[in-house]
Amino acid sequence: CLKCADAPCQKSCPTNLDIKSFITSIANKNYYGAAKMIFSDNPLGLSCGMVCPTSDLCVGGCNLYATEDGPINIGGLQQFATEIFKAINIPQIRDPSLPSLQDLPESYRTKIALLGAGPASISCATFLARLGYSDITIFEKENYVGGLSTSEIPQFRLPYDVVHFETRLMKDLRVKIICGTGLSVEGLTLSALKDDGYEAIFIGIGTEIISD
C-alpha cells in the first residue's frame, strides 16, 4: 500500500472506509484495531469484505492497479481482519467517550421502527443505537434476518453465520428484532405503528424484481 494522500480507494468506497488506515493497522499486526476501524464505518464490514465488488470500487481506484504487481487486495484484507475479530467474540459497545444513555435527552428514548431486517435496516439500527437511541425495533416478515444476504447469496460466498454475527453485534446494542411480522394492509401498517407510539419509521424492505 502506498498510503496515498488523496486515497482514491477510499473515495471509491460507498461507505467511505478509511482503507489506508486499516491496512496500516494490519501491517502492524493490530488486527483488532483494523477491524474496529472497519466496523465503525461499516457495520457489515465482514459481509462486504466477502461479497463487495471491489474491482469496480476501491480496488479499481487503487493507484497500483496498472502496475505489474497489481492493486492491493483490499477486500481480502478487510475479510482477514474482521474474521479475526469475529473469532475473538467481543461484544459491541457504544463509544465510552459519548454521554451515557441515562444522561441523554428524552428524545433519545423515542420509539423507532425499522421495516425489514436486511442490510439497510441492520446498518441504520446500528448507527442509531451507537448514537444513543435506546428503543429500536426491527420488524421482519420472514422468520430469518439478513434479507437478500441470507436468501439470495450462496453460502459459499456469504455463510449464514457471518450474517448472524453482524446481527448479533447490532443486538449487543439492545436493538430488538421481531420476525414473522411484515408491512401489509391487513397486518402491520404505518398507521398502526404510529398508533403504537413509534415516532420514526425506516422502510428498508427493498424491492423485489418481478420477471414476466
Determine the Cα–Cα distance for residues 26 and 48; give it in Å rounded to an integer. Answer: 18
Query: 111 and 143 share a domain?
Result: yes
Residue 14 lies in a domain: yes
What is the separation of C-alpha 156 from the centre of its chain, rounded to a whole number of angstroms?
20
Number of domains in the chain: 2
Closest CA to 165 of 55, 112, 90, 70: 90
Query: 111 and 199 share a domain?
Result: yes
**For residue 167, what are the domain limits?**
106-203
pLDDT at res. 112: 97
Write the CATH number for 27: 1.10.1060.10
Query: 128 and 197 share a domain?
Result: yes
Query: 84 and 110 share a domain?
Result: no
Residues 6+ positions from 161 with CB-CB distance below 8 Å: none
**pLDDT tens readout for residues 48-69:** 999 999 888 888 888 888 888 8
Query: 183 and 120 share a domain?
Result: yes
**210 band by pLDDT with thresholds 50, 70 and 90:** low
Query: 55 and 123 share a domain?
Result: no
Q: Is the pTM of this model over 0.85?
A: yes
pLDDT at res. 129: 97
Determine the Cα–Cα distance for residues 151 and 118; give it in Å rounded to an integer. Answer: 10
Q: Under a CB-based contact definition with an 8 Å cutoff, are residues 70 and 64 in contact? A: yes
Cα torsion 161, 82, 10, 24 to 10°: value is -170
pLDDT at res. 211: 57
Whether 169 shows a pLDDT value over 90: the answer reads yes
Residues 6+ positions from 46 with CB-CB distance below 8 Å: 78, 79, 82, 83, 85, 86, 162, 165, 166
Whether 183 shows a pLDDT value over 70: the answer reads yes
Q: Under a CB-based contact definition with an 8 Å cutoff, are residues 198 and 75 in contact? A: no
Mean confidence (pLDDT) of the chain: 92
**170 band by pLDDT with thresholds 50, 70 and 90:** very high
Query: 180 and 117 share a domain?
Result: yes
What number of other Cβ atoms are within 10 A of residue 137's Cβ?
17
pLDDT at res. 206: 78
Of 60, 88, 116, which residue sits at a domain end? 88
Rounded to 5 degrees, φ, ψ at 2 are -85, -5
Residue 94 lies in a domain: no
Query: 155 and 185 share a domain?
Result: yes
Residue 192 lies in a domain: yes
